[in-house]
Amino acid sequence: MRADVFVSQTESGSVEISVVKHGMSSGAARKYDASQKAKEVLLAFGIDAVTVERQLQILLTTPPNVLVRLPTVEIADDILGSLGFKAAAFMGAA
């Protein structure tokens, strides 16, 4: 699935990753207590390490709940499912 990926920091300091089917306005999101775990997920999506590092550094300087966009990427449905992003969130967007 071609997807837009966003990260944000929550009020409590967790990192939230949102995956939205390209061209749609909503999708699935997951929160991670550690930025290292969020980094692992972003790398599993196929986003290159330099971009992930840069965007996570930007995230550290943004207020809570501000979205930081990562590049649009092609993510296999099985990768999304294995990482806990519910396929049902994307079914209506097909």
Q: From first to last of its 94 residues, what are the pLDDT tens digits of the chain?
A: 899 999 999 999 899 999 998 777 778 899 999 889 999 999 999 999 999 999 999 998 999 999 999 999 999 888 988 998 875 455 554 4
Burial of 92 (0-12, 13-18, 19+ CB in 10 A): exposed
Query: What are the phi and psi torsion angles at 54 (to 5°)?
Result: -60, -45
Asked whether residue 93 is domain-assigned, the answer is no
Counting every residue written for the chain, the total comes to 94
pTM of the model: 0.87
Place of tokens 């990753």: 17
- The verdict on residue 41 lying in a domain is yes
Contact 75, 19 (CB under 8 A): yes
Report if residue 90 sits inside a domain: no
Angle at 26 between CA 57 and CA 73, to 5 degrees: 55
Task: Provide the domain limits for residue 42.
Answer: 2-75
> 17 lies in a domain?
yes
Structural domains counted in the chain: 1
